[in-house]
Amino acid sequence: MKKLTNLLLLLTVLVACKKTPDIPSVNYTMGGGVYIMDEGNFMGGNGSLSFYSYDSLKMYNDIFTKANGRPLGDIPYSMIIKDDNAYIVVNNSGKIEVADQATLQSKATINGLISPRNMMVINDSKAYVTSLYSDSVAIISLSNKSISGYINIRRTSEAIVLVGNKAYI
């Protein structure tokens, strides 16, 4: 009986092991370059991010997936860089992916947005995100990497620009 128990315990250990994928960290932005966003097919979940390096004249495709082992999402629509962070607005996944701007390794995901389109950094601690299907602009806390509130503008929104201390939506 003891042998059987030991065997069962051994089997439990064997089936419990799961190899964590070893994802190398690659600095894409050394030497400068440009990010290229591919929306993919609507509802297909196959949007991607590429980087064209001016230094090596090479194109690096699907770098978010390669850096994190998961897809970027459905319709990555816009992207901004703030300090060391890349904020990628993924429209039909209702989220913003926050990643290291050089390696694209994920730092956080801001979920719960309704059809987000464009993001504008207002100051060091705050950003606004427009929405295609809601009547509010979301306020993002850059320090917490989360939604801190909403501004009801009574209609849907698309582009946003900052001139002086005024945001035009």
Partner 1 sequence: MKNTLLYIPLFFTLPLLGNKPVINDTIRIKEVVIRTRNVDTPVSGYKKTTIDTAILSFNRNKNLSDLLLENTGIFVKSYGMGGTATPSFRGTGASHTIIDWNGISINSPMPGQSDLSLIPAGLIDEIQIYYGGASMQLNSGGIGGAINLETKPIFKRETIISANSLSGSFGRYSGLIKVKSGNTNLQTVTKAFFQKAENNFRYLNDKISFEPIWQTRNNSQVQQKGFMQEVYFHRESYTASARVWYETSDRNLPASILTLQSNSNEKQFDESLRTMVNYDISVPQGNFTVTAAWLMSRLNYSNQLADIDSRNLSESLMLKASYDDRIGDYSKLKVVLDRQSDLIKSNNYDHNTTRSTTTLTVSVNRKKEHVCTFFLLREIIIKNKIQIPDFSAGVQIGLINDKDYFLGANISKNSKIPAMNDLYWSPGGNSNLKNEHSLSTEISYSMKEKIADIIEIKYDLSAYHNVITDMILWHPGEFSYWTADNLKTVKATGLESTLSANYSLDNFHSGFKLAYSFTKSVGGRSGISDDASVGKQLIYIPENQANYLLTLGYRRLYSTWVACFVGKRYTTSDNSEYLTGYVVNNLTAGIKIPIKKSSADISFSIDNVLNAEYQSIAYYPLPGRSYNIKISIQFVKQK
Give the Cα separation of 47 and 37 in Å (integer): 8
**Would you state the torsion angle of the CA atoms of residues 120, 122, 126, 131, taken in this order, to the nearest 10 degrees?**
-30
Structure tokens at 116: 């987000």
**Would you state the torsion angle of the CA atoms of residues 93, 161, 147, 154, taken in this order, to the nearest 10 degrees?**
-90
By C-beta, is 61 or 125 nearer to partner 1?
A: 61
CB of 2 to partner 1, least distance (A): 11
By C-beta, is 62 or 167 nearer to partner 1?
A: 62
Task: Judge contact between 169 and 163, C-beta under 8 A.
Answer: no
Structure tokens at 37: 């966003």
CB of 131 to partner 1, least distance (A): 12
Q: Where does this chain bind partner 1 (CB under 8 A)?
A: 1, 4, 42-45, 70-71, 73-74, 92-95, 97-98, 106-109, 111, 114-115
CB of 68 to partner 1, least distance (A): 8
By C-beta, is 71 or 167 nearer to partner 1?
A: 71
CB of 70 to partner 1, least distance (A): 5
